[in-house]
Chain A
Amino acid sequence: MTLRPTRPRSAKPRALQAVALAAAAALTLSACGGGDTDEATGTADADGVITVKLGVVGPMTGPASLYYKYMEQDLETFGDTFEDKYGVRFEPVEKDDQASPEETARAVSELINEDGVQAILGPPLSGNSLQVADTVQRSQIPWLLAGPNADEIINYDQQPNWAFQTNFTNAQIMNVLGNILWADDAKVGIVFSADGFGQSNLDNLKAWAEDNGFELSAEETIQPGAADANAIVQRFEDAGVDSVFMGITQGADTATVTRAIEQAGYEPSTIMTTGTILTDYKDVAEPSQWENVRIVDPRNFLEGGDKEVLDAVQEATGEAPAIPTNNISTYAMLDIYAQAVQEVGDANDKEAVRQAMEDIETVHIGESLTIDSPYSADDHRLYTDDPADWLTYGFDENFDLVLLGSAEECIESGC
Chain B
Amino acid sequence: MINILKTKFVLLARNPASFIIITVIICLFAYILGLGQQAKFPIAVFTDLEDQQTQFFMKELGKMPNKSFELFEEREAIEKVRNGDREVAIHLKEDGFDLVIAPDYMDAPLLQHEVSTIYSKVSQKQAIIQAYPVDKQNEISAVIDEAVANPSFHINYSNFSNDGAFIWDAKLHSLFGFTLFMVIYTVANGVNHIVMERRSHIWDRLIVSSIRKSEIYIANLVYSFILGYIQIAIVLAIFYFGLGVDFYGGFYQSLVIVIPYVLCIVALSIFIASIATTPGKFNAFIVVLAVPFAMLGGAYWPLEIVTSETILALSYISPITYGMDLLYGVTLNGSSLTDLIRPLGMLLFMTVVFMGIGINVMEKKEVR
Q: Is chain B found bound to chain A in the same assembly?
A: no
**Which residues in B have some Cβ–Cβ distance to A below 8 Å?**
none
**Which residues in A have some Cβ–Cβ distance to B below 8 Å?**
none
